[in-house]
Amino acid sequence: MYKQNFIHCFKFILKEKLGRTMNMCGKINIIEWNIHGAAGYGNHSIPFFVSDWIMNNNIHIAILTEFVIGSGWDYLKGSLEKEYNLYISPYVSNSNQCLIAIKKNVGFDLANAKAITEMNTGEEEKPNFLQVEVVYNSSTINIIGTRIRNSRNQKEWQALDEHLTSQKDEVVICMGDFNAYWSNKDGCFWRKSKNKTLPKTSFMYELETPKWDIKNNGFSYVLPNGNCINVDSLIYKGISSVQDIKYNWQFINSKNGYGNMTPRDQKSHLIGLPDHAILYGSIII
């Protein structure tokens, strides 16, 4: 019993020291994950493995899109609040929310963090949105989670474009399911005239989207016709570097309810199970 307690305490101390090491070097592990809340339709329940994956992978900032408070919320909340402060966009009937989780005791001034739920735009039609303003090692960071609900609705794009370009703080991190891919066979057109979605933002912010790579599951979503596409991205400014940005499909297994499915299978018919890859990476302010 004494030996078991010693090992448990040693693991806890090691985990705390690793977290503080991140604080000293300024490396922040961040994810965005569309967890397929589908506005709460069909008796949606948040799977337990969502919070378990976040807790077990040393994530410092987690953004959940297509999130809805419902069945499974108590487990997610109880699990994450042990190590994170949680911020949630307001509930709107028949719509999705965003959740942002920021890890405690790793350099964020969470006592003075501020959640922002209103976008700085005159447009009435807006994407799902949540922003948290927080100080990290003396730098003010604005963390934004978003999901474009209808990529053909130019008003949603206009709202996001206006909001992002209105941000005065130096460091802004925006991750989300944009339902758009700013690239083609000739390369990225993030800053070209073909970008009709976020034209002003594209000249103020950088874009990071993992390279499309079908052989290594380098895609974030599978369309009903079987096409694999990259629609989850990171848009940012004021960051020194972005490292190891990639899509993670390791949660696709029979234990989590996917049976014999692989990442290349279309998964949107599975009620309550995430159908997007986890967008994962590390940033240095």
Q: What is the pLDDT of residue 70?
A: 87
State pLDDT tens for residues 89-118: 998 888 899 999 999 999 999 999 999 999
Q: What is the pLDDT of residue 41?
A: 63
Q: Is residue 9 part of a domain?
A: no
State pLDDT tens for residues 200-216: 999 999 999 999 999 99
CATH number at residue 177: 3.60.10.10
Identify the band that residue 197 occupies on the pLDDT scale cut at 50, 70 and 90.
Answer: very high
Q: Is residue 126 part of a domain?
A: yes
**How many CB atoms sit inside 10 A of residue 281's CB?**
20
Q: Is residue 8 part of a domain?
A: no
Across-strand partners of 132? 115, 143
Q: Is residue 11 part of a domain?
A: no
Q: Is residue 20 part of a domain?
A: no
Name, in order, each residue with C-beta under 8 angstroms of 253's C-beta and a sequence gap of 6 or more: none
Q: Is residue 46 part of a domain?
A: yes
Least confident of 12-26, 83-97, 173-187, 257-271: 12-26
- The domain total for the chain is 1
Structure tokens at 135: 């100080």
Across-strand partners of 131? 116, 144
Q: Is residue 226 part of a domain?
A: yes
Mean pLDDT of 26-52: 88
Report strand pairing: 232-237 vs 228-229: unpaired
Average pLDDT, the chain: 89
Q: Which of 145, 126, 134, 125 is nearest to 30 (CA)?
A: 145
> Cα–Cα distance between 17 and 146 in angstroms, integer?
32
Least confident of 42-46, 93-97, 181-185, 261-265: 181-185
Q: Is residue 97 part of a domain?
A: yes
Query: What angle in degrees, to the nearest 10, is found between the helix axes of 48-55 and 73-80?
Result: 10
Identify the band that residue 187 occupies on the pLDDT scale cut at 50, 70 and 90.
Answer: low
Question: In which domain, by residue range, is 260 found?
Answer: 26-284
